[in-house]
Structure 1
Amino acid sequence: MPWVPQHEDDFPTLGWTVADQMATYLGRPDAGDDDIFDPFILTVEQQEFLNELYRLDPRTGRRLIHRGSLIRPRGWGKSPFVGGIMISEAIFDVVPDGWDADGQPVAKPWSKVRTPYVAIAAVTEEQTKNTWEPLLEMLRQGSAVDEFNLDPMDSFVALERGRIVPITSSPNSIKGFKAVAASLDQTETWVKGNGGVKLAQTLRNNATKLGGVTIETPNAYTLGERSVAEASFEFWADIRSGKYTNLEDVRSIYFDHRPAPPDTRIDDMDSLVHGLRIAYGDSSGHPDGCLLHDPPCEPGWFDVHRGALDFFDTANDPAVMRADFLNQIDAARDAYVSDPEIRACIDTTKVVGPREPVTLGFDGSEGRKDKHIADTTVLIGYSVTQRHFFRIGIWEQPDGPRGEGWRPPKVEIEQAVAKAFRDYNVVGYYADPSAGWAGEVKQWEASHHKRLKAKMSVQEPIRWRQKDVTRTCETFDQLYSAIRQVEVTFDGDPTLIQHFLNARRDPRRAGYVLKKADDNQDYGKIDATYGCMFAFAAGTDALGKGVTANTTRRMPRQLR
């Protein structure tokens, strides 16, 4: 019979079954008295993650999620939780096996399908201990060893069929080891230089071949380091942006990241405690429990007040503290903006009307050169009165074979510019004429110069003066100041936001311009930052020309 929902918003999952098996056979690590069995019981949010991880397709009964990412702060409890999931993949009922007489999912262990090998992976032996040591403790304190005939040795766990093994990025440790499940710990440190990128790819490929699952457990990563955690976050952002709407399989990733609010102040105790409670969720030790659920959960194990005090210790690096405890994605030292700064400016509720003054910013690309990925072409709008940036058009080189020989669609882009002038009260438009767009800029100047209040010059009202580095430096600095003080807002377009997070400061005598990260020239695009800067400069000039909220739109004269 088909699946039968039990309540509104119900979905089929093996999460409840797996949690019951954990509580029955596994002991809680660091339980204290060895003579008393203390079962491993999940918190509410851990159960929610498990239910999503083991979500099933109600039509076919197959598992939907093949890849998970759980980003939580230090001390939240990621390691024992994921250790429990890896034990479950090794011995418990996790392979879907249809529906029972009540229309509820049933399952069988991997050993009924193939030999289960499970990997506890990290880039160093010391890192593997984060998950490996609590995993052994959970087995040794519970009844799973006797019930499933296991031998939990220090170097591996022998199953009746298969084994659980800690592995590192050493080629010898992963060669031929095809795991049905793998935990990838601290992937914010997995980079190309230490073999982490290759290790992650190998584990995912093996899981794909076998129909298995991989789970990342990073702490908040540093932007621009090109870690495995950062690449996973970007993949998730692409999915949310609708980039893969025609590919159902890419939705098989479950991404769970809950940072402290962007406006959390680390110099204010109340704000800091609130931010820590949000980031730590059920694990936050507070008399009222976790306020993320109604009713509140039981008090957890992390003392948020004690954790907050460490932020005031001047010996601690604030950026590291934000990443480790507030779960906020950190910026590289030369980053233009931080993740909390730019996300604090996102406002998806603003609507730009046809009469309010708007400026445009354009940065173009000439397309793919040799084997390098082409720069992005962007057209950004900026409401002068609302101080609000919004995407009009972003044109990027497609992935894969479709990107071979790619050139930006100039006709489509020219139509987008013309439509922007029809739809909005455009009072200024600054554009970079380089990269093959000089002719188009000249044409835009000829067509629209009479409407523009803000002009670079009388002769060339749209063309941005590339040699005026001082103006570029000053404008980027003014824009950053506005972002830091939340004096401007963004529509939340994920590509636009990512370009800001990719941008690095490149010092000049007059200040700084923006550049790509030195080790990420192909994929760390920043073109939208220049589009926003041009639009912002035009908006500033428009205000200087007296453009106000009462400016009325001059409609094009109609031919009779």
Structure 2
Amino acid sequence: MQIAATSLDQTANTRDMIRGMLAESPAEREFNLDIGKGLIQFKDGRPGRIEPVTSSSRGLEGARPTFVVCDEVHHWIESNQGVYVWETLDRNVQKTAGAGSRLIETTNAFNPNENSIAQRTFEAAMELGATGILYDCREADRDIDLKDEDTVRAGVIAAYGDSHWVDVDGIVAAIQDPRTAPAVAYRFYLNNIQENADGWLAKSEWDACLDEDDPIKPGDQIALGFDGSLRGDSTGLVGARLRDGKLFVLGLWENPRDPRQPDWEVDVLAVEAAVQRAFETYKVEWAYCDPPYFQEAIGRWSITFGDDRVFEYWTNKPMRMCEATERLHSAVAVGDVKHEGNPDLTRHMLNAVTREVPQGILITKDSPRSKKKIDLAVCAILAFEARADAIADGRLNARRGRVVGF
């Protein structure tokens, strides 16, 4: 039997309960068990044991477990190897399922932006019609008023069902504590599927900004945001229409993570062509470009298209970047920004999580090694900030002229 989690400490949630139930029990005496802190086995050396396994465990492949407990699978995501561990454990169980081997998953409500194992199991069982899965979930009514104590209490009772030992009053108080973020209350106390409490944008708010009726047209006045890389991160180019702030993607060069392309690099010539196309197709009034890796190119763009239109914007300057980040976040929250529904832009925007610094809030990936990219979100912030500065400079609907001195 294997108790699996993303860390050894996490396996203790289940392992310690088993140790407590077995210690000094008839089962301990009858089966002559050695109940260790990490391993439970027979003292006489017979085959059979209960062991913890994590993503760092060696030799997971090929084991023949009779029962596997996968704990807190809403935390099992690609960046912490949780998906790899689950796939390996599931393969092992499937090989002996005919003999009775089984796998159980325990979880809180998942974050729909993370594509965790909890989310994959939910979608397989409830949306894709997978067979052989028993999905059992108790959930409070969605989006209840967290300030209404009676409604919250009813939601807690519904979510916890017949768990009579639960301190309902304590949980109600925790939910209504002003320090508890709504996303945390919904996910971890009421078992509602919610975006990460640290997520920069709520999916519902971003979806509400979708506008498919007023497409971007050649000749429209726009601002640009550019964030460049060469290998690891993505390179992106995003536009924002001046008159309504509508965001659209002009280019994305993203590492495909294909083992057949270990030396993949951004096609710099394709990036140059996309920038050229943007200036030829639209009236680009302002462009903010993050200099690393492309400083020489940005200098040439400034010479070619005008140093009053192309500007360096260092995203590693916290004060300025915090202000720009807050500008776009506030615009999304109140519906003062639009977008075309581009799936890559949506993915990057919803991948972004917040990071607090002394100057305010920045966005970042959910972990330093995460494969969930946010570069188009950075481009969108730069484009929206460039739009604001272009408007402040009086360029909205202003005819661009040329002053010649004699």
TM-score (norm 1): 0.47
> 1:479 aligned to 2:328?
yes
Deviation at residue 507 of structure 1 after TM alignment = 4.3
User: Following the alignment from structure 1 to structure 2, what is the Cα–Cα distance between the partners of residues 432 and 260?
Assistant: 45
1:428 alignment counterpart? 286
Deviation at residue 190 of structure 1 after TM alignment = 3.7
Query: What is the correspondence of 1:261-410 to structure 2 with a 5 Å cutoff?
Result: 266=145, 314-315=176-177, 317=180, 318-324=182-188, 325=190, 326-332=192-198, 335-367=199-231, 374-410=232-268
Match of 1:220 among 83, 100, 109: 109
User: Following the alignment from structure 1 to structure 2, what is the Cα–Cα distance between the partners of residues 513 and 430?
Assistant: 17
* Contact kept in structure 2, 1:360 and 1:426, CA below 8 Å: yes
Match of 1:523 among 371, 378, 394: 371
User: Following the alignment from structure 1 to structure 2, what is the Cα–Cα distance between the partners of residues 195 and 366?
Assistant: 25
2:28 alignment counterpart? none
Deviation at residue 215 of structure 1 after TM alignment = 9.2
User: Following the alignment from structure 1 to structure 2, what is the Cα–Cα distance between the partners of residues 468 and 172?
Assistant: 43
Deviation at residue 365 of structure 1 after TM alignment = 0.5
* Contact kept in structure 2, 1:379 and 1:392, CA below 8 Å: yes
Look up the equivalent residue of 1:495 and give its one-letter code.
Answer: D
Deviation at residue 531 of structure 1 after TM alignment = 0.8
> 1:188 aligned to 2:50?
no
> 1:200 aligned to 2:49?
no
User: Following the alignment from structure 1 to structure 2, what is the Cα–Cα distance between the partners of residues 260 and 441?
Assistant: 53
Unaligned runs of at least 5 residues, structure 1: 1-117, 129-165, 237-253, 277-282, 285-300, 368-373, 450-456, 555-560
2:300 alignment counterpart? 443
Residues 499-526 of structure 1: per-residue CA shift (max 9 Å, x gap)? 3334344444433433334x43342422
Identity value in percent:
28
* TM-aligned CA distance change 1:390 to 1:509, over 3 Å: same
User: Following the alignment from structure 1 to structure 2, what is the Cα–Cα distance between the partners of residues 211 and 420?
Assistant: 57
* TM-aligned CA distance change 1:176 to 1:525, over 3 Å: closer
* Contact kept in structure 2, 1:331 and 1:338, CA below 8 Å: no
User: Following the alignment from structure 2 to structure 1, what is the Cα–Cα distance between the partners of residues 195 and 310?
Assistant: 40
* Contact kept in structure 1, 2:93 and 2:103, CA below 8 Å: yes
2:312 alignment counterpart? 463
Query: What is the correspondence of 1:21-32 to structure 2 with a 5 Å cutoff?
Result: none
2:342 alignment counterpart? 493
* TM-aligned CA distance change 1:173 to 1:469, over 3 Å: closer
User: Following the alignment from structure 2 to structure 1, what is the Cα–Cα distance between the partners of residues 394 and 140?
Assistant: 41
* TM-aligned CA distance change 1:176 to 1:510, over 3 Å: closer
Please tell me the root mean square deviation across aligned C-alpha atoms, in Å. 5.2
SS of match in other structure, 2:224:
strand
Unaligned runs of at least 5 residues, structure 2: 16-49, 125-132, 163-167, 402-406
User: Following the alignment from structure 1 to structure 2, what is the Cα–Cα distance between the partners of residues 195 and 376?
Assistant: 22
Look up the equivalent residue of 1:220 and give its one-letter code.
Answer: A
SS of match in other structure, 1:381:
strand
Look up the equivalent residue of 1:331 and give its one-letter code.
Answer: A
Residues 453-510 of structure 1: per-residue CA shift (max 9 Å, x gap)? xxxx64x832225675432221112122212223213333333233333434444443
SS of match in other structure, 1:447:
helix
* TM-aligned CA distance change 1:466 to 1:327, over 3 Å: closer
User: Following the alignment from structure 2 to structure 1, what is the Cα–Cα distance between the partners of residues 105 and 95?
Assistant: 18
SS of match in other structure, 1:444:
helix
Higher relative CO (Cα under 8 Å, sequence separation at least 6) belongs to: 2
